[in-house]
Amino acid sequence: MKNLILGIESSCDDSSIAIIDKDNFSCVFDKKISQDESHSVFGGVVPELAARLHSTALTKILEQCKEYFPKLCAIAVTNEPGLSVSLLSGISMAKILALALNVPLIAVNHLKGHIYSLFLNEKICLDMGILLVSGGHTMVLKIDNRGFLKILAKTYDDSFGESFDKLAKMMNLGYPGGEKIENLALKAKEKKIKFSVPMKHSKELNYSFSGLKNQARLEILKYEKLDENLKSEIAYAFENAACEHILDKLEKIFKQEKFKIFGVVGGASANLNLRKRLQNLCEKNECVLKLAPLKYCADNALMIARAGVDCFERREFVRIEDEILSPKNKNFIRI
Ligand code: KG4
Ligand code: ZN
């Protein structure tokens, strides 16, 4: 019986392939090769380098899951949003596989994939709120009871995760910066540096992290040399203001929307400071907080394969000969 769906994720700098059993959501194969080290020296992702690394990493992983090919019933691949050259690596592989194995092809929006990281082993639930915090996006969403998505807030400029990456770059910490900043912040002792929370007194629900980044830049310029201690103090002040900014707007949103369930997804949802604050917010509002397993917060193919299962059930397939790459977020209308 053909009951397995193979998912491919290559929208940015993680090459990942996973295989899920569509009948019971169990994961039968899951592998990711991260390119972090290769991009670290540049302080961010270099698209051309990412594409070249995907082409070798994806084939290497594919080789390891050949034994499952006869049981595959579909191929799911991230087709938007992301770096076009990176997306293309996964899309080309997915098309060739679907053609060779004569199985349908499923195009998965990356942000929808992140939402599915909350439901890797279970049925999706609708009628809930979502905070999506990644390197490319920061948004608050509502999924209505029919599965339609409404964006309640988003960032005007940098995303939450991206702002951590940029601070890390300013302090020569390498890429990606989120975990590095979080770990440094834990070492802060004096905690005297304070950054103001962006748009604190505005009724506006959207986010902006560029001003906070600038506050950090100006603080760094005050010192001739940044030692480990100073870096920790800056990281602490930055992380707190960034998390406070997220929570400040969410508190306003929670007053408008009476969420019963609220989920947080995306690479930066691994941040424990943010998780703790969200837990408090949800408790205060008698709302259940749903978190993705730490391993599946960042980009991964299992969430793409899992999203592929629901598309498969609805027979949402794309034609192999069609142009499915769309680096912009075009198909983010319903789950
Ligand atoms: O979802 P993801 O893997 O890729 C995108 O779709 O963008 O998210 C990666 C982002 C990076 O910006 C990374 O610095 C950030 O998530 N990130 C964090 C943490 N771990 C990863 N940001 C803050 N705190 C963290 N612990
Ligand atoms: Zn992502």
Residue 33 φ/ψ, nearest 5 degrees: -115, 115
Q: How far is the CA of 192 from the centre of ligand 2 (A)?
A: 34
What 3-state DSSP class applies to 33? strand
Written as six digits, the tokens of 333 are: 């209308």
Please state the domain count of the chain.
Answer: 2
Nearest-angstrom CA–CA distance, 197 and 248: 9
Would you state the pLDDT for residue 331? Answer: 83
329 pLDDT more than 90? no
Q: In this structure, are 171 and 113 located in the same domain?
A: no
Q: What is the mean pLDDT of residues 144-170?
A: 96
Would you state the pLDDT for residue 119? Answer: 98
Would you state the pLDDT for residue 200? Answer: 94
Nearest-angstrom CA–CA distance, 110 and 312: 16
Q: In this structure, are 139 and 281 located in the same domain?
A: yes
Q: How far is the CA of 178 from the centre of ligand 1 (A)?
A: 6
Which residue out of 179, 212, 246 has the highest number of ligand 1 atoms within 8 Å of its CB and is therefore the one to mutate? 179
Q: In this structure, are 114 and 145 located in the same domain?
A: no
Q: In this structure, are 132 and 269 located in the same domain?
A: yes
**Residue 63: CATH number of its domain:** 3.30.420.40
Q: How far is the CA of 317 from the centre of ligand 2 (A)?
A: 22
Do the domain assignments include residue 149? yes
* Model confidence band, residue 81 (pLDDT cutoffs 50, 70, 90): very high
Would you state the pLDDT for residue 219? Answer: 98
Q: What is the mean pLDDT of residues 131-144?
A: 96
Q: What pTM does this model have? A: 0.96
159 pLDDT more than 90? yes
Ligand 1 site, residue 271, Cβ cutoff 6 A: yes
Helices (H) and strands (E) in the chain, counts: 10, 10
What is the domain extent for residue 20?
A: 4-120+296-313
Do the domain assignments include residue 326? no
Q: What single DSSP character describes residue 196?
A: P
pLDDT tens profile 258-271: 999 999 999 999 99
Ligand 1 site, residue 138, Cβ cutoff 6 A: no
Shortest-distance atom of ligand 1 to CA 274:
24
Q: In this structure, are 143 and 265 located in the same domain?
A: yes
Do the domain assignments include residue 321? no
- Count CB atoms within 10 A of the CB of residue 75: 26
Would you state the pLDDT for residue 202? Answer: 93
Q: In this structure, are 253 and 300 located in the same domain?
A: no
**Which residues are annotated binding-site positions for substrate?**
132-136, 165, 178, 182, 271
Q: How far is the CA of 321 from the centre of ligand 1 (A)?
A: 33
Written as six digits, the tokens of 278 are: 């969200």
92 pLDDT more than 90? yes
Would you state the pLDDT for residue 181? Answer: 98
* Model confidence band, residue 254 (pLDDT cutoffs 50, 70, 90): very high
Nearest-angstrom CA–CA distance, 248 and 287: 17
Do the domain assignments include residue 327? no
**Structure-derived torsion over alpha carbons of residues 180, 182, 184, 185, reported in degrees to the nearest 10:** 160
Q: In this structure, are 147 and 186 located in the same domain?
A: yes
Which residue out of 39, 110, 114, 134 has the highest number of ligand 1 atoms within 8 Å of its CB and is therefore the one to mutate? 134
Would you state the pLDDT for residue 43? Answer: 84
Residues around the ion ligand 2 (C-beta < 5 A): 134, 299
Is residue 86 a contact partner of residue 50, using CB atoms and an 8 Å limit?
Answer: yes
326 pLDDT more than 90? no
211 pLDDT more than 90? yes
pLDDT tens profile 8-29: 999 999 999 999 999 999 999 9
Shortest-distance atom of ligand 1 to CA 110:
6
Written as six digits, the tokens of 143 are: 């999924």
Residue, of 65 and 331, whose pLDDT is higher: 65
* Model confidence band, residue 283 (pLDDT cutoffs 50, 70, 90): very high
Q: In this structure, are 157 and 58 located in the same domain?
A: no
Do the domain assignments include residue 219? yes
- Count CB atoms within 10 A of the CB of residue 127: 13
Would you state the pLDDT for residue 85? Answer: 96
pLDDT, the chain, mean: 96
Ligand 1 site, residue 178, Cβ cutoff 6 A: yes
192 pLDDT more than 90? yes
Nearest-angstrom CA–CA distance, 214 and 170: 11
* Model confidence band, residue 213 (pLDDT cutoffs 50, 70, 90): very high
Please state whether the peptide bond connecting residue 81 to the residue before it is cis, i.e. omega within 30 degrees of 0: yes
Would you state the pLDDT for residue 224? Answer: 93
- Length of the chain equals 335
